[in-house]
């Protein structure tokens, strides 16, 4: 009986602890971004959103040339943790994709809601540099 109880507890507790550790370790902080004194892109997205997938592909295509100059923070809105919720509230995000462009002082320069062409996104990132 004790052996069965230990096995059942291990089946439930080990995955929960592992998930908690992975979730906590992957949370970016704005303090980290501000230390580098670089412009920042905060991208609110969802795995279930087609426009979000389009924007993810655009970012995969064009962001590598900006990765040394601009910090990219991606917020998965379906993952409800304190950090994600505080960012959603801070920027009043009501739909995805929403992309917030911040200058090196953390001031919001531009807000993009919905999918845009890659050429337009590229212009926005060039202007942020």
pLDDT means per 10 residues in the chain (129 residues)?
66 62 48 69 95 96 94 93 94 96 93 96 90
116 secondary structure, DSSP code: -
Query: Domain range for residue 108?
Result: 28-128
| The pLDDT of residue 128 | 86
In the block, residue with structure tokens 């670089």: 38
Flag whether 37 is in a domain: yes
Flag whether 45 is in a domain: yes
91 secondary structure, DSSP code: T
H-state helical runs in 36-81:
50-62
Flag whether 17 is in a domain: no
Flag whether 23 is in a domain: no
Q: How many domains does the chain have?
A: 1
| The pLDDT of residue 33 | 43
Query: 18-26: which pairs have CB atoms within 8 A and are 24 or more residues apart?
Result: 23/79, 23/81
CATH code assigned at 37: 3.40.30.10
Flag whether 39 is in a domain: yes
H-state helical runs in the chain:
2-25, 30-35, 50-62, 82-90, 118-128
| The pLDDT of residue 110 | 95
Flag whether 22 is in a domain: no
The continuous run of DSSP H or E covering 113 comes out as strand 108-113
What does the radius of gyration of the chain's CA atoms come to, in whole angstroms? 18
| The pLDDT of residue 94 | 94
| The pLDDT of residue 113 | 96
| The pLDDT of residue 19 | 58
Residue closest to 58 by CA, chosen among 128, 111, 122: 122
Flag whether 46 is in a domain: yes
| The pLDDT of residue 80 | 84
Distances (CA, A) of 116 to 18, 41, 96: 37, 15, 12
pTM over 0.85: no
| The pLDDT of residue 26 | 46
């Amino acid at each position: 009986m004790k052996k069965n109880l230990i096995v059942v507890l291990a089946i439930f507790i080990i995955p929960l602890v592992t998930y908690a550790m992975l979730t906590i370790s992957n949370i970016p902080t704005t303090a980290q971004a501000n230390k580098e004194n670089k412009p920042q892109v905060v991208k609110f997205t969802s795995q279930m959103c087609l426009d979000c997938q389009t924007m993810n592909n655009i970012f995969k295509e064009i962001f590598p040339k900006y990765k040394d100059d601009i910090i990219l923070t991606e917020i998965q809105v379906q993952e409800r943790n304190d950090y994600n919720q505080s960012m959603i509230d801070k920027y009043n995000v009501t739909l995805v994709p929403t992309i917030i462009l911040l200058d090196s002082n953390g001031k919001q320069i531009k807000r993009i809601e919905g999918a845009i062409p890659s050429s337009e996104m590229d212009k926005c990132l060039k202007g942020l540099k």
